[in-house]
Homo-oligomer: A and B are copies of this chain.
Amino acid sequence: MIENPFYTEEVHGPYSYYSLGDFSLEEGGTIPNCQLAYHTHGTLNEAKDNVIVVPTWFSGTSKDYEPYIGEGRALNPNKYFIIVVNQLGNGLSSSPHNSPYPIAMSNFPKVRIGDDVRAQHQFITENFGIQEIALVVGASMGAQQTYEWAVRYPEMVKRAAPIAGTAKNTVHDFLFTETLMEAITSDLGWNGGNYTSHTEVADGLKRHADIWAVMGLSTEFYKQEKWCLFGVETVDQFRDDFLRPLFQSMDPNNLLTMGWKWQHGDVSRHTNGNLREALGRIEAKVFVMPIDEDMFFPPRDCRAEQKFIPNSEVKLIHSIAGHFGLFGGEGDFYYNQVDRYLEELLAL
């Protein structure tokens, strides 16, 4: 358990905590007094049928979804009760850096996407008595959790919108994530996960950020010099003043916990490896929403999965920012596309 000023309400707030008690994990191990950090928008109606669940992406927090939510948006808090839940390991919910003995730091157990979704299910049923979800929507690892929700609790999830993510992680994606993780673990300062401050792993986190610079955007983003989309004027600023400081402020063990989880995302665990059968269980109306320039969750990988989902369509999002489109790279040009698709889905 170490201090890290990045994971605070000053940076990511406001949020609340729900205690799940001792939470047993799919891979074995337990998180004692497991905490889910969450933030809600809007009000749960009496019928409890206006619920939207939004799980977070790799390294992201509930704050990152704020631009997706608001009056005039599909995720309208005047109409819906929107629960944004921070995934385990993201630094706000129970994570390596904020957990005490015996699961602190390198002793934090392996967490799977399925654990997150079970935790979220326990939280919203226990805490709010929710039995029906109008929509689960999430991007990237949020999409992995969205698929898991729709496969694991098919009767509960009425609609699902996985953005820029897959139900079963691909081999290419596994290898990509491996390079992100190797960038961290190869830093001597990482010390097997037992550093005293994340700043000791600054070099590994820098290389982690540099790999994101290659795979997280798109070749066209750089060709058209679109770093202005992230509020900077040069590519050096984009890397040195935005990407590197962002990841260098994070906790290495947290990133590794999420990285491992991302690598092993796979709804076909429920059906002995049969992906078609797993996706065939989904009862929700599903809009599969890849980003056209995404270099590691490419549309064709998403389309291949969509074919196995009974009541589904592909809705392609355009963003020259590639995967980082979901991070707001293109502002309203991006959010308006998401809104249009989600409004259509919510009207079904």
User: Which one, A55-63, A100-108, A206-214, A340-348, is touching chain B?
Assistant: A206-214
- Cβ-based interface call for A78 (8 A): no
Q: Identify the interface centre among A222, A235, A300: most chain B CB within 10 Å of its CB.
A: A222
* A182/B207 contact (C-beta < 8 A), A175-B222, A175-B239, A219-B298 known: yes
**A172 touches which of B182, B222, B298 (Cβ 8 Å):** B222
Interface check A228, CB cutoff 8 A: no
Number of A residues with CB within 8 Å of any CB on chain B? 36
Q: Does A132 count as interface, using CB distance less than 8 angstroms?
A: no
Measured CB to CB, the closest approach of chain B to A159, in angstroms, equals 27
A339 interfacial contact with B, CB 8 Å: no
Residues of B within 8 A of A8 (CB): none
A64 within 8 A of B: no
Total copies of the chain: 2
Which residues of B sit under 8 angstroms from A217, Cβ to Cβ? 172
A249, CB-defined interface residue at 8 Å: no
Contact across chains for A176 and B300 when beta carbons are under 8 A apart: no
Report chain B residues within 8 Å CB of A300.
219-220, 223
- Shortest CB-to-CB span from A296 to chain B, Å, is 7
Residues in A276-301 with C-beta less than 8 Å from chain B: 295-296, 298, 300-301
Contacts of A178 in B (CB 8 A): 210
Q: Does A215 interact with chain B (Cβ within 8 Å)? A: yes
- Residues of chain A from 180 to 229 with CB closer than 8 A to chain B in the complex: 182-183, 186-188, 203-204, 207, 210-211, 213-215, 217-223, 225
Report if A171 contacts B (CB, 8 A): yes
Question: 5 nearest interchain CB pairs?
Answer: A172-B222, A171-B222, A172-B219, A176-B214, A175-B213
Q: What are 17 A-B interface contacts by the 8 Å CB criterion?
A: A170-B219, A171-B222, A172-B217, A172-B218, A172-B221, A172-B222, A172-B223, A175-B210, A175-B222, A178-B210, A179-B179, A179-B211, A182-B207, A182-B210, A183-B207, A186-B186, A186-B187
- Seen from chain A, the residues whose Cβ lies within 8 Å of a Cβ on chain B are 170-172, 175-176, 178-179, 182-183, 186-188, 203-204, 207, 210-211, 213-215, 217-223, 225, 235, 239, 295-296, 298, 300-301, 304
